[in-house]
Structure 1
C-alpha cells in the first residue's frame, strides 16, 4: 500500500531530524544517485553504459541541492553529470560539490537555444530538480522554452522528490509540467503524486527511507492499494464453501431502452467470483441475460399483479449485496425502491452499489452506510452535488469527499485516476490502474457488477471499491493489450479472471 501525505505533514516529519543535525540532503542525494546509476546500467551489466550522460535541472532550493549533490556523486562514479541552473539563486553547497567533482553548472540565462538543444541531445537522463514540495502549479514564462526543449528531446525524465510545478498536496499540475519516467521521493510520498494531475506526471514511484516515517501522521491523506493488497484482501473460498457463503449479489439492471447494461453488469459480477448472481429486469432483458449468462437467476420485473417494487426486491430471497442502476432510466420504479432498500436505518440491505440511473433517486437527507458505494462519473457527480447543495465545481478529490460526507456512503468517482472517498471519513483512496481504452460505453456497468460481488463477499466498502477499480483497470489493460487497441465492455468482463490470476500469482502485468 502506498501512502501519500500532505506537504505540511512531510515538513513536520522532517523538522525533528533536521534540528538533530541529521544529513537528510546527503542521504537523499546518495539514494538518488544510486537510482540513476541503476537506471543507466545495461541489462546484466555491472556499470552504466559508456558515454551515459545526466543533466540536472537545478532550482534554487533544497530540491536543487538534492540534484546537484547527486550529480557530484555520479561524477565520482565515472558518470558524466552536469547541471543547468534555472534561477538566479542556486544551492551553493551542491553547486560547489558538482564543480569540485569536475561537473559544469550552466546558467539558463546564458545558454543559447542551440547550446540548450545540444546539452539535452547529449543527455540520456534529465533530473527534474527545479522545485520541491513548496512548488506551485504555475510555470514562470522564462522556463517555458526549457520545459518545451526537454519534452522535444529524447531524454527520459526522473523527478526529484516530485515533478516540478505540481501542488504536493492536491496534485494540481501546470499544463507544462514535465512527465517523469519515475519519481524518487524522499521520506514520504506527497499526496499529490497519487491524485489526478500529479499521478499522470509521476511515473513509477520509488520511496527513499530517511527515517521520517515514525513522525508522519497515523492517518495519511491518500492511500493507493497495490497488488500485494489485492492478494491480502481478495476473498478466497474455503473447502467447505457454498454458493451462499461466497456471496449472493442481486442486480436491478437493464431496461427496454438499455438492455445490454444488464448483460454487462451480471457478467462483471459473475466473472469476479460471485457465488450467485440474481438479475431483476423485464422478461425481454432477462432473455438476453440468460442467453449470455445461463448461470444467472432471473427475477422478472414487473411481476404479475404489479407488486410494489420494494416488495419484489425484498422477496428476492437471500441476497448479500444489491446493485441498482446500470441501464435504468431515472423514472424506473426499481431506482427508487432499490435506493430505499439500501438507506441506513431501514430493514433492507446494508451493502450495495448505486450506479448510473440509480443515482437520480438520491436527494438531500438520504443517508447510507459506508458499505453502500455510489459510483458516479464526473458529470453524474456534479448533478448529484447540485441536488445536495454542494459545489459541483470542486476538484475531484474534494468533490468525492463532499459527496461521501453528505450521504454517508463510500463514493467511487470514476476517471483516469479513480478516487474513492470512504463514507466513514477514512483516507481517500486513489487508484491509477486503468487505460484510456476503458473510456467506452458499458465499462462502468461491468465495474458495478465487480463491485457488487466484492461487497457481497463481505469486503468493507472502501476496500471493495479499491479492489474493484484495480481488477477492472487491469482487465481493461489486458483486453486492450496494454492500451494499444480498442476494447468493448464485454471484453473487460471476459478478462477479469486473467487479471485476477496475474495479480494473485505475483506476475507482472
Structure 2
C-alpha cells in the first residue's frame, strides 16, 4: 500500500532530525544529483547541460547543492536565482565548484533563451512543500520560456506551485518528466492536479518513517493489496454467501444502464444479481444476462417510501441510481432505505439517486456515493457546501456531511471514507473510459464488493482499480475507443492479471 503525507506531517517528521543536526539537505542533494546523472546518461559530453531554477528556500538549496556535486563530477551545471534571497550555502557550493549564478531579474529574454538552448535538463527547485497554487507575475515569463524550450524538467521534491497536501496546481506550473521527492511521498503528488505535473515519481529515503506517525494523509492500493482484499469464495461457498446484489436501475429513458450495472456486478463475481426495474428494462437485461433475477416494478406507481423488497429474498447490498432520472421514485426510496440502515446498511447511490439525497440524510461508511465532478458540485450546493473546492476537499466535505464514503470519479479517483479515515486515490484507468455507461459498470462492480462484505472505503478503491484496469484492456491501454459493455466483459481478465501468482 502506498502511503502519502501532508506538508504538515512531513515538516513535523523532519523537525527532530533537523534539531539533531542531521544533514537532510546534503543527503537529498546527493540523491538528486544521482538521479540527474542517470537522466543525462548518453547525453552529449560538451557544454552545460543542467540548469537549476533555484528558489529562496531549502528546495532551492537542494538544487544548488546537487548542481555543485554535478560540477565536481564534470557535468555542466548552472543556476537561475528566482528570488532576491537564496540559500547561501548552496550558492557558495556551486560557485566554489565553478558554476554560475544568474539572477533572474538581470537576464534579458534573449539571455534566458540562450541558457535554455544550452541545457539538456532543467531542475525545478523554485518551491517545495511550501508551494501554493499561484505563480507570482515576475516568474510567469520564466516558466513560459522553459515550456517553449521543450527542455525536460526534473522536479525537486514536488513541482513548484503545487499544493503538497491537496494537489491543487497553478495553471502555469511546469510539467515534470520526473520528480525526485524526499523523505515521504506527498499527498498532492497522488491527487488531481499535482499528479499530472509530477511525471515518474522517485522516493528518496531520508529516515523520516519513524517520525511520520501511523496515519498518513492519503492511501493508494496496489496489486498486492487487491490480492488480500478481493473476496475469494471458499470451497463450501454458495451463491448467497458470495453476496447478493440488488440493482434499482434502468428506466424507459435509459434502459441500457441496467444491463451495464448488472454486467459489472456479475463479471466482478456476485453470487446473485437481482434487478428491480420495469418489465421492458428487465427484458433487455435478461437477453444480455440470463443469470440475473428480475423483479418487475412500476416506478410511476411505486410508493416513494419503499422499494417493496420484502419478497425479493436475501440482499447483501443495494445499488440505486444507474439509469434513473432524479424523479424516479426508486431513487428516493433507495436513498431512504440506505439512510435508515436497519435492513440495508451497505450499498451504492449513483446517478439519479444522488439527486434524492437531502440535507437531513445520514448514511454509514458502507454506503458509497459515486458522483462525477458535475454531480458532486450539484450535491454540494444542495447540502450547503462550497462546490468549487479542489476534488479531495470536495469529496471529504461530502463524506463529512452525509456520513457516506464518497467515490469522486475522474482521471484520478478520489475516495473520502465516511468514517473520517485517510483519503484514497487511484489512478488505474484511461481517458477512453470517459464514455457513456462506464459509470454504470463501476456501480455494479462496487455493489458486488460491498455485498461480499468489504468495508466501504476498501470496496471503493478495489472497484476503481478493477474498473480502470478493465478499461485499459478494453482500449488496448488507451490506444483505441471502448464502449461500456466491453469494460464489463474485461473485468475477469483484469482481475486475473492482478490475482495470478508472480512468476518464479
Q: Does 1:458 align with 2:453?
A: yes
When the two structures are aligned, how many residues end up with a matched partner?
Answer: 500
Task: Name whichever of 352-361 and 149-158 sits farther off.
Answer: 149-158
Task: Name whichever of 174-183 and 194-203 sits farther off.
Answer: 194-203
* Residue of structure 2 in register with 1:446 after alignment: 441
* Residue of structure 1 in register with 2:268 after alignment: 272
Q: Does 1:365 align with 2:360?
A: yes
SS in structure 2 opposite 1:94?
Answer: helix
Task: Name whichever of 183-192 and 442-451 sits farther off.
Answer: 183-192
Could you give the per-residue CA deviations for residues 411-466 of structure 1, whole angstroms, max 9, x where no partner exists?
11122222211111111112223322222211111111111111112111001111
Q: Which residue of the other structure, out of 287, 308, 314, is the alignment partner of 1:312?
A: 308
> Relative to 1, partners in 2 of residues 1:203 and 1:299: Cα closer, same or farther, differing over 3 Å?
same
> Relative to 1, partners in 2 of residues 1:297 and 1:121: Cα closer, same or farther, differing over 3 Å?
farther
**TM-score, reference length from structure 2:** 0.93
> Relative to 1, partners in 2 of residues 1:237 and 1:393: Cα closer, same or farther, differing over 3 Å?
same
In the TM superposition, what are the counterparts of 1:327-338 in structure 2 within 5 Å? 327-338=323-334
SS in structure 2 opposite 1:482?
Answer: coil
Q: CA deviation at 1:191?
A: 2.3
Q: Which residue of the other structure, out of 423, 433, 458, is the alignment partner of 2:428?
A: 433
- Rounded to whole Å, the distance in 1 between the matches of 2:182 and 2:195 is 17
8 Å CA contact 1:128, 1:157 repeated in 2: yes
SS in structure 2 opposite 1:405?
Answer: helix
SS in structure 2 opposite 1:149?
Answer: helix
* Residue of structure 2 in register with 1:45 after alignment: none
* Residue of structure 1 in register with 2:9 after alignment: 9
Q: Does 1:160 align with 2:168?
A: no
- Rounded to whole Å, the distance in 2 between the matches of 1:127 and 1:318 is 59
8 Å CA contact 1:186, 1:209 repeated in 2: yes
Task: Name whichever of 368-377 and 101-110 sits farther off.
Answer: 101-110
Could you give the per-residue CA deviations for residues 328-381 of structure 1, whole angstroms, max 9, x where no partner exists?
1222222222222222442x2211101111122221222211101011122222
Q: Does 1:480 align with 2:475?
A: yes
In the TM superposition, what are the counterparts of 1:496-507 in structure 2 within 5 Å? 496-505=491-500
Task: Name whichever of 178-187 and 238-247 sits farther off.
Answer: 238-247
* Residue of structure 2 in register with 1:240 after alignment: 236
Could you give the per-residue CA deviations for residues 178-224 of structure 1, whole angstroms, max 9, x where no partner exists?
11122211112222222222122122222212112222233222222
Could you give the per-residue CA deviations for residues 366-399 of structure 1, whole angstroms, max 9, x where no partner exists?
2211101011122222322233233333332222
* Residue of structure 2 in register with 1:31 after alignment: 31
Q: CA deviation at 1:49?
A: 6.8
Q: CA deviation at 1:13?
A: 1.3
- Rounded to whole Å, the distance in 2 between the matches of 1:422 and 1:431 is 14
Q: Which residue of the other structure, out of 90, 93, 108, is the alignment partner of 2:89?
A: 93
RMSD value over aligned CA atoms? 2.3
SS in structure 1 opposite 2:242?
Answer: coil
Could you give the per-residue CA deviations for residues 138-193 of structure 1, whole angstroms, max 9, x where no partner exists?
21222212211221223221111111012222222111001112221111222222
Q: Which residue of the other structure, out of 419, 424, 428, is the alignment partner of 1:424?
A: 419
- Rounded to whole Å, the distance in 2 between the matches of 1:108 and 1:462 is 47
SS in structure 1 opposite 2:308?
Answer: helix
Q: Which residue of the other structure, out of 460, 467, 470, is the alignment partner of 2:462?
A: 467
In the TM superposition, what are the counterparts of 1:35-434 in structure 2 within 5 Å? 35-41=35-41, 50=45, 53-302=49-298, 310=306, 312-346=308-342, 348-434=343-429
Unaligned runs of 5+ in 1: 43-47
Task: Name whichever of 438-447 and 50-59 sits farther off.
Answer: 50-59
8 Å CA contact 1:127, 1:158 repeated in 2: yes
Q: CA deviation at 1:321?
A: 1.0
Unaligned runs of 5+ in 2: none
- Rounded to whole Å, the distance in 1 between the matches of 2:293 and 2:282 is 9
Could you give the per-residue CA deviations for residues 40-88 of structure 1, whole angstroms, max 9, x where no partner exists?
346xxxxx77559322111121101101111222233343332222222
SS in structure 2 opposite 1:313?
Answer: coil
